[in-house]
Structure 1
Amino acid sequence: MCLIWGATWIAIKVGVALVPPILFSGTRFVMAGALLLAYRWAAGHPITIQRQDCPRLTVATLFMVTLTYALLFWGALHVSSGLAAVIDLSFLPVALLAFAVALGEEQLHSRRLGALVLGISGLLLLFGPKAFVGQDSSTLELWGGAAIALSALIYAAGSVLARPLLRHYPSTLISGHTLLWGGALTTLAALAFEPGASDALPPRWNASAWASWLFLVLGGSIAAYTIYLKLVRDWGPSRAGAYCFVSPAIAVLLGMIVLNETVTPHEWAGMAIMLAAAWLAIRNAPAFVPERPMSQEME
């Protein structure tokens, strides 16, 4: 999961340089969700959710896909990429732990708090020098940072709210529904409000945009997002959120290999600290539980 999500940073960078970002994201989610549900239907597995669980699924979908990415992309337009990374990746693991404890999904332990402090310190060391480059403390910058922080809080709340669903339904089913319907709303919002979206529909994309989009559909959404939901179910939201301390390090290393970007000594140190934090966060995690057929789970 971390390897794939680390690589998506490069794919996103290529894609949003060619296609409006919210449209690019929304269409990716729609296709990923449709493919997951089509796979389940073709394999003879149920693709419906019981009526009493639909309200929770609706909230989780709005939180984890539509609202999160609308706020994240809007905020990223007004702050530097370094500052966006610091805000998003620092707020998210803290919010995951806070919501999980508040809603009774996890207990607070000193080791988890230590992992958060260590991981955020590594993030600041990795992205800190780039965070405020070119920033002018404008009102839009402040609102942009607030939007990114709010997106992290909303995503964390959605992750915790989705966990009870994951105890009763396969992760591929929940992943398919949240991606399909959340992506549909995101795409409609892009067409209605995003500048240039209506003139940048998929038939007009070039080969680079299609390649990036396809990797994000198959890897970032179908594979990694489904794995994340499995980890939320088995490990709990805060342990699953340890990817925030691993994926950035992978992204930096891939940028060095693929894009010939340079890595400074303090960035190496930041990545080492973040990986140590992730190890501390997932140490002694519960065993991964294979999913049973849905009929058995509902019994």
Structure 2
Amino acid sequence: MAGAPASGPTVQRKTLPVLLFALIVALWGSTWIGIQLQLGSVDPAVSVAYRFLLAQACMFAWCFARRLPLRFPGTTHLRFALVGLLQYCGNYVLFYYASDHMVSGLVSIVFALSVGFNILGGVAFLGRKVTLSVVAAAGSGVLGLVLVFWQEISAAGGSDTLAIGVLLGVGGTASFSLGNIVSAKNHQAGLPVVQATAWSMLYGSLFTSLGCLATGQRFTVEMSWSYLAGLAYLALFGSAFAYVAYLTLLGWIGPDRAAFATVVFPLVSLLLSTIFEDYSWSALAFVGVAVVLAANAVILVGPQLRTAALALAPGRKEVAATRAAPGQQER
């Protein structure tokens, strides 16, 4: 019975990242509904500004309600501003415009490249080691998405604006991944996730708004139920809730593994498209889904499965216990 109390934190440490990952995938996978509802007379960059102005207002309201400290040194605000510029401004503006030049399947695949960007960034800026399993799973995940959206991509292969869309998408992915690295640094520095997200979203929305003013965009609002409902959903669920969960997960398991959410959430979008838009599945798409799910299983639950296998294997229980001990001691 003496060892029983330690099992609670150990189980939490193993299960909470998986639950957070599932929440992020569900939220980001459903954001296409909100984005579709926002398509209309308002410029995409202006819609991004509205989205994060509303999201940061929700975040600060939560901070005030919980009486969370919001005062930070000037150097810390520079960190927040950098995350805002990269993650909540450049990332979204570039991808909103990229969506005008390429089909949604290719947008998903380009964004899934953030797994590779995060691996490289983790090595270069965070001193993280690259494991062969993570690299192989990253490559397999992107390949799986290519299979899923192959019909859509091949049909759009002759588009004259495709190269522009890909370049914009790669730029948005790089911006997202760099923002991930800075956010991971902030987590390492002990900065609270909720307040850091609130300030970063505020700076991101201000940068986007200034960019819209500089380029002569009109801050119009489409007074329709669809536009306003889409904006509310994207701001509250697709931004405020999702990013707090994502940045928490990023701090726990690192940017390389957390970015696998960008590989899985297109599958949720595809499932919703099947229900609401009569998407027709091909055999290749089923194979692609299996590959993506297998790649993510390796990343998220692979270590636990290996530990369990060692524990069950004859003569290997001592090895499994030895490997499990450091994690228990850390908690």
Q: TM-score range by the shorter chain?
A: 0.7 to 0.9
The aligned amino acid for 1:151 is G
Larger Rg: 2
Determine if the alignment matches structure 1 residue 188 to structure 2 residue 210.
Answer: yes
**Out of 242, 260, 264, which is 1:246 matched to?**
264
Q: Where does residue 19 of structure 1 map in the other structure?
A: 42
Q: Over residues 1-41 of structure 1, what are the superposed CA-to-partner deviations in whole Å (9 max), with x where a residue is unaligned?
A: 11011011122122124533222222111111122122212
Q: Where does residue 179 of structure 2 map in the other structure?
A: 158
The aligned amino acid for 2:244 is T
Name which of structure 1's ranges 178-187 and 257-266 shifts more when overlaid on structure 2: 257-266
The aligned amino acid for 1:48 is R
Q: Over residues 72-106 of structure 1, what are the superposed CA-to-partner deviations in whole Å (9 max), with x where a residue is unaligned?
A: 222222223232222222x2110011101111342
* Maintained 8 Å contact 2:48/2:93: no
**Out of 120, 135, 153, which is 1:98 matched to?**
120
**Out of 137, 146, 149, which is 1:127 matched to?**
149
> Which structure 2 residues correspond to residues 100-115 of structure 1 after superposition, within 5 A?
100-115=122-137
The aligned amino acid for 1:162 is S
Q: Where does residue 5 of structure 1 map in the other structure?
A: 28
**Out of 216, 221, 224, which is 2:234 matched to?**
216
Determine if the alignment matches structure 1 residue 67 to structure 2 residue 90.
Answer: yes
Determine if the alignment matches structure 1 residue 57 to structure 2 residue 80.
Answer: yes
- For residues 130 and 277 of structure 1, what CA distance do their matches in structure 2 show? 22
- TM normalised by structure 1 equals 0.87
Give secondary structure in 2 for the equivalent of 1:246.
Answer: helix
- TM normalised by structure 2 equals 0.79
The aligned amino acid for 1:252 is L
Question: What residue ranges of structure 1 are gaps of 5+ in the alignment?
Answer: 287-299
Runs (4+) of structure 1 exceeding 4 A deviation are none
Question: What residue ranges of structure 2 are gaps of 5+ in the alignment?
Answer: 1-23, 305-323, 325-331
* Maintained 8 Å contact 2:80/2:203: no
Q: How far is the alpha carbon of 1:161 from its aligned partner? A: 1.4
- For residues 36 and 209 of structure 2, what CA distance do their matches in structure 1 show? 19
- For residues 244 and 42 of structure 1, what CA distance do their matches in structure 2 show? 31
Q: Over residues 123-158 of structure 1, what are the superposed CA-to-partner deviations in whole Å (9 max), with x where a residue is unaligned?
A: 1101222124244453x4323311211211121011
> Would the alpha carbon gap of residues 267 and 18 (structure 1) be closer, same or farther in structure 2, given more than 3 Å must change?
farther
Q: Where does residue 164 of structure 2 map in the other structure?
A: 143
The aligned amino acid for 1:209 is Y
Q: Where does residue 274 of structure 2 map in the other structure?
A: 256
Q: Over residues 236-289 of structure 1, what are the superposed CA-to-partner deviations in whole Å (9 max), with x where a residue is unaligned?
A: 001110102210111100111133322222222212211111111223389xxx
* Maintained 8 Å contact 1:30/1:180: yes
Q: Over residues 36-95 of structure 1, what are the superposed CA-to-partner deviations in whole Å (9 max), with x where a residue is unaligned?
A: 122212322111222232322222211111111222222222223232222222x21100
> Would the alpha carbon gap of residues 251 and 18 (structure 1) be closer, same or farther in structure 2, given more than 3 Å must change?
farther
- For residues 127 and 87 of structure 2, what CA distance do their matches in structure 1 show? 18
Q: Where does residue 106 of structure 2 map in the other structure?
A: 83
The aligned amino acid for 1:33 is Q
- For residues 165 and 216 of structure 2, what CA distance do their matches in structure 1 show? 16
Give secondary structure in 2 for the equivalent of 1:103.
Answer: helix
Name which of structure 1's ranges 71-80 and 266-275 shifts more when overlaid on structure 2: 71-80
Q: Where does residue 293 of structure 1 map in the other structure?
A: none
Give secondary structure in 2 for the equivalent of 1:261.
Answer: coil
